[in-house]
Amino acid sequence: MRVRKLCGYCKQAPREDREVDRHTNQHLVPIGATTLWRRSDDSHILYPRLLGNESPASHLGPDSTAVAMGTSEPDFKGTFHITIIGAGLAGLVAAIALAKSGYKVTILERDSELREVRRAYTTKDTPTFTKAFLQWGAGIQIPSNCAKVLREVGILNQVRARSTQPRTHSVLSYKSGATLSKQDMIPIIETAFGAPHLVIHRAVFQKVLVQQVETLPAINIQLGAILDPTLSDFGRGSICFSIDGNETKEVTTDLIIGADGERSMCREILLGRPDPPKPSGYVAYRLLIEGSKILESPETSLHDLVNDPGVNVWQGPESHAVSYMLDGILNLVLFKPSASSSSGASSLKPELVSGEELRSQFVEWEPRIQALLGLVVDCIKWEILETEELKEWVHPDGHFVLMGDSAHAMLPFLYA
């Protein structure tokens, strides 16, 4: 006999077209004809469901009052197939979470090789260190709310082992270098929010995730997968793709998650029109400086950046800089308004620029910034892109959703 639960919110039995969220015991409302439940009090929380308004038994709260309905509940997770488009950070974490929950997952990645993983700390001692190491990203902060997600999916310890945990967070004047505020982060952050604040290189983060994916037999990664949007019908779960340009094949899946980044094909498929990202009006200069070089500098005020690692934010007019240590390397990124127009006149791809160009953009900044930039031969100039907010990121037929930058590419300092 199938058991339905009373909603912990309204204390009533769900109607035939509703189920109950196992976390909050509140009603779930079906979206479209198939595939997804949406919690009635929060449009941003989705759960897979079966055809015919059936949902998995795991969505029913174990502590709720039971009401008999007279039908059996199938164990469907092992056959419910979810396909994720994109093997970036969002796609990999989603795949791990879903696989550990019992779902069958396929990841389709257009690159024939996971380039960030290949480059993770493999070129540290080469003359082209900056170019190779930064080409696919630099440092990333993992605040407590994100660390909690990693804990929930069982990979926080692995990520933490490859991360740095900053001791302090300081806000500094861009012109004088004076400390405007300083906050201890250890143990305050973890005590207050239940998880640590970490920093890590994106490539290393992705490598840890891929290593975890490789231990999960429920996940299959297809590299070199080139989608054919003209033949695919994401609304009904149909994906047509080729591997490295070979014969096109079609697969049908129960749910498609578009996680293919800011230059998202999935976003355009959902919208039914081209929607390329646009310049945000900001540019970032990203650079890495080996800690040994900083400690050799006669500017002794720089040494604390290495010896007492923390997150340092220099605040300037319409601009700021952020630094923190990554495995013996100082990650420094400087943001300022872009000289390009909002129409996208400049290159939207990262480009290698000289140290002279970099220094010319920050001549009024405090002596420590000048000393750090003086150690730089070249760096990556990165036009920060963004996309317009979507009114809906779920396909009306319920088989297709967006996540991550494909849904909401935004300025990186708006994460908190």
Angle at 81 between CA 406 and CA 36, to 5 degrees: 65
Q: Which amino acid is residue 295, in one-letter code? A: L
For residue 396, pLDDT over 90 is answered with no
Q: Provide the 8-state DSSP code for 53.
A: G
Q: How confident is the model at residue 114 (pLDDT cuts 50, 70, 90)?
A: confident
Q: Please tell me the total number of residues recorded for the chain in this structure.
A: 416
**pLDDT at residue number 336:** 94
- pLDDT band of residue 392 (cuts 50, 70, 90) is confident
Tell whether the model's pLDDT for residue 73 goes beyond 80.
Answer: no
What local confidence, expressed as pLDDT, does residue 400 receive? 93
Contacts of 105 (CB under 8 A, 6+ apart): 81, 82, 83, 84, 95, 98, 99, 218, 219, 220
pLDDT score, position 100? 93
- Answer whether 9's CB lies under 8 Å from 26's CB: yes
* 376-402: average pLDDT: 88
Q: How confident is the model at residue 415, as a pLDDT?
A: 56
More confident residue, 115 or 70: 115
pTM: 0.77
Closest by Cα among 205, 241, 251, 231 to 105 = 251
- The residue ranges of DSSP E strands in 111-245, in sequence order, are 139-142, 168-173, 179-184, 198-201, 219-223, 225-227, 238-243
Residue linked to tokens 């900044």: 365
Identical fold at 77-112+224-277+389-416 and 126-198+278-386? no
Task: Take residue 245 and report the two structure tokens written for it.
Answer: 């340009």
pLDDT at 182 over 70: yes
List, for residues 186-238, the tens digit of each pLDDT value. 999 999 999 999 999 988 999 999 999 999 999 999 999 999 998 999 988 99
329-388 confidence digits (pLDDT tens): 999 999 999 876 544 434 567 888 899 999 999 999 999 999 999 999 988 898 888 888
Candidates 207, 247, 197; CA nearest to 225 is: 247
Going by their DSSP bridges, the two strands 238-243 and 27-31 should be labelled as: unpaired
C-beta separation of 77 from 132 below 8 A: no
Over residues 397-407, mean pLDDT: 89
CB burial of 85-103 (b: ≥16 within 10 Å; e: otherwise) equals: bbbbbbbbbbbbbbbbeeb
Q: Quote the pLDDT of residue 397.
A: 82
pLDDT, position 391: 85
Q: For residue 329, what are the β-bridge partners?
A: 290, 326
- State the chain's mean pLDDT as an integer: 78
Greater confidence (409 vs 192) lies with 192
Cis omega (within 30 of 0) for bond into 48: no
Secondary-structure class of domain 77-112+224-277+389-416 per CATH? alpha beta
Please give the order of strands across the beta sheet that includes 249-252: 225-227, 238-243, 249-252
The second-level CATH assignment, the architecture, of 126-198+278-386 is 2-Layer Sandwich (3.30)
What is d(CA 40, CA 219) in angstroms, rounded to the nearest whole number? Answer: 31
Least confident stretch, 109-113, 216-220, 320-324 = 109-113
17, 29 Cβ separation under 8 angstroms: yes
Strand partners, 84: 107, 257
Higher pLDDT, 123 or 301: 301
Name beta bridge partners: 415.
none
Domain ranges in the chain?
Answer: 3-75, 77-112+224-277+389-416, 126-198+278-386
Q: How confident is the model over 241-280, as pLDDT tens digits?
A: 999 878 898 999 999 999 998 889 999 999 989 988 888 8
Closest CA to 387 of 255, 248, 278: 278
Tens digit of pLDDT for each residue in 3-59? 334 344 344 444 444 444 444 444 444 434 334 444 444 433 344 443 333 343 333
